[in-house]
Amino acid sequence: MKKTPFITKEQAEEIAQNFPTPFHIYDEKGIRENARLVKKAFAWNKGFKEYFAVKATPNPFILKILQEEGCGVDCSSLTELELSDACGFSGSDIMFSSNVTPAADYELAYKLGAYINIDDITHIDYLEKLTGIPETICCRFNAGGNFTISTFVMDKPQDAKYGFTREQMFEGFRLLMQKGAKHFGIHAFLASNTVTNDYYPTLAKQMFQLAADLKKETGADIKFINLSGGVGVAYRPEQTPNDIIAIGEGVRRVFEEILVPAELGDVAIFTEMGRFMLAPYGALVTRVLHKKHIYKEYVGCDACAANLMRPAMYGAYHHITVLGKEDEPCTYKCDVTGGLCENNDKFAIDRMLPPVDIGDLIYIHDTGAHGFSMGYNYNGKLRSAELLLCEDGSVKMIRRAETPADYFATFDFCNILDKYLKP
Ligand SMILES: *Cc1c(COP(=O)(O)O)cnc(C)c1O
């Protein structure tokens, strides 16, 4: 499928007059429409709730939009909890799915009344000593082995650091019941960025079976099953995007096949999607600063891996549109790079693009999740602004760009940098 930017070259140039490149921009309309579709896909389940994975796009303006669409939040750290609290999420609006959890994080999650999803059986004692065991508690399951969909290996839970083994789930539930837990949730995240409508239904089948077994063997009252994240997006134009309506329907079928006969028909289905909720509705816009011709052709941009780490970190593909050249033939083969002193700082390698000129605006698609948020400051590069393309067509800054003073701010105990720290 052809990938189309949600802004035109003219819009981007106008925006760039007020907010210098590079910037991340998000499409409010796209975010809202997609969130409504997710809700519709699972409307058959009375207790359904999507808990947006805050780490994907930790911006309060984005969280507020999702809150208005009925979403909760999934947090994994102290600051994500604080951000969510500040946005007005509380109690059962918050899922706390952490691992290697510091005491202060559990304490705040408990205080906010969040659903605590514990990652390991040893955390039961840890949490009991810290805060006591909440009435409703969730355990994260790791199925081990490979996660396959009709012989295709999607991911390898056996190599993942998360969750309880199957045996530990039974032991953990019994232990938690002894310590006063009344209601239970089950969580599992077994494959990442899946581009198939079968992931959630396949995962749900395993989890529903486990829930039925846990109920039968321990008598635990299971209130919710959290399918977590992992629903992917079509980063490549040749991929077929997931159909969330078909996914919801697939989960409904296994719900009726397994949970209803096990007298678990009241169980609420939760999701914790990040990527699917936001990735396609964000883009990184950057300007071409230089071109160079050595053994290969290079197009150098004012953004770098510090603004979008996925290509450098995972070799991830992000589609690129040269704004204003959407209909020109892609006859120019180049690497699109940033300016880090690090050769993996490439947004694209051997990419076929229309002939690129210095000054062109490059639109990097699908950066709305795990984009800005994975940013870092290597080479003293600064984080960009985040902008919101509002439903009425106006553009709002929802995070300013970093300045050198931000970069130096953690030296606030010394006066060597005063010259640069003062405005
Ligand atoms: C990262 C994460 C998510 C979101 O994953 P996506 O791939 O963005 O959907 C959800 N839950 C947990 C526990 C995570 O760590």
Tell me the pLDDT tens digit for each residue of 146-195: 999 988 999 999 999 999 999 999 999 999 999 999 999 999 999 999 99
| Ligand 1 center from residue 1 Cα (angstroms) | 26
pLDDT of 298 above 70:
yes
Tell me whether residue 244 is exposed, middle or buried, using C-beta atoms within 10 angstroms of its C-beta: 0 to 12, 13 to 18, 19 or more: buried
Provide the domain limits for residue 384: 281-411
- Are 299 and 291 contacting, i.e. CB atoms less than 8 angstroms apart? yes
Say yes or no: 274 and 303 in one domain: no
In a domain, 268, yes or no: yes
Say yes or no: 274 and 286 in one domain: no
Say yes or no: 136 and 76 in one domain: yes
Q: What is the CATH number of the domain that holds 153?
A: 3.20.20.10
> How far is Cα 187 from Cα 192, in angstroms, rounded to an integer?
15
Say yes or no: 240 and 133 in one domain: yes
- Domain total of the chain: 2
In a domain, 416, yes or no: no
Tell me whether residue 111 is exposed, middle or buried, using C-beta atoms within 10 angstroms of its C-beta: 0 to 12, 13 to 18, 19 or more: exposed
Cβ-Cβ contacts under 8 Å for 27 (sequence gap 6 or more): 6, 281, 282, 368, 389
In a domain, 421, yes or no: no
| Ligand 1 center from residue 276 Cα (angstroms) | 10
Q: What is the pLDDT of residue 309?
A: 98
Q: What is the pLDDT of residue 412?
A: 85
pLDDT of 249 above 60:
yes
Residues 133-149 have a mean pLDDT of: 96
Query: Please, what is the average pLDDT of the chain?
Result: 97
168 conformational bin, left if phi > 0, alpha if psi -120 to 50, beta if neither:
alpha
Tell me whether residue 413 is exposed, middle or buried, using C-beta atoms within 10 angstroms of its C-beta: 0 to 12, 13 to 18, 19 or more: exposed
Q: Is 369 in the pocket of ligand 1 (CB under 6 A)?
A: yes
Say yes or no: 301 and 270 in one domain: no
Q: What is the pLDDT of residue 60?
A: 98
Say yes or no: 265 and 290 in one domain: no
Q: What percent of the chain has pLDDT over 70?
A: 100
Say yes or no: 388 and 251 in one domain: no
Say yes or no: 208 and 227 in one domain: yes
Say yes or no: 92 and 202 in one domain: yes
Is 413 or 307 the better-scoring residue by pLDDT? Answer: 307
Residues 68-84 have a mean pLDDT of: 98
* Predicted confidence (pLDDT) per residue in 356-381, tens digit: 999 999 999 999 999 999 999 999 99
Q: Is 80 in the pocket of ligand 1 (CB under 6 A)?
A: no
Q: What is the pLDDT of residue 330?
A: 98
Extract the runs of DSSP E, i.e. beta strands, from 188-319. Answer: 221-226, 268-271, 282-293, 297-301
pLDDT confidence of 415, banded at 50, 70, 90?
A: confident
Say yes or no: 323 and 265 in one domain: no
Say yes or no: 332 and 270 in one domain: no
Q: Which of 225, 253, 279 is the last residue of a domain?
A: 279
In a domain, 13, yes or no: no
In a domain, 19, yes or no: no
In a domain, 1, yes or no: no
Atom of ligand 1 nearest to the CA of 369: 8
Atom of ligand 1 nearest to the CA of 97: 13
pLDDT of 423 above 80:
no
Q: What is the pLDDT of residue 151?
A: 85
Say yes or no: 223 and 363 in one domain: no
Long-range CB contact pairs, 118-124, < 8 A, 24+ = 118/172, 119/162, 119/163, 120/163, 120/164, 121/164, 121/168, 121/171, 121/172, 121/175, 124/172, 124/175, 124/176, 124/179
Q: Which of 244, 260, 279 is the last residue of a domain?
A: 279
Q: Which of 249, 279, 309 is the last residue of a domain?
A: 279
* Predicted confidence (pLDDT) per residue in 192-244, tens digit: 999 999 999 999 999 999 999 999 999 999 999 999 999 999 999 999 999 99
Q: Is 280 in the pocket of ligand 1 (CB under 6 A)?
A: no
In a domain, 23, yes or no: no
In a domain, 68, yes or no: yes
Q: What is the CATH number of the domain that holds 287?
A: 2.40.37.10
pLDDT confidence of 414, banded at 50, 70, 90?
A: confident
Q: What is the pLDDT of residue 422?
A: 64
pLDDT of 421 above 80:
no
* Predicted confidence (pLDDT) per residue in 251-287, tens digit: 999 999 999 999 999 999 999 999 999 999 999 999 9
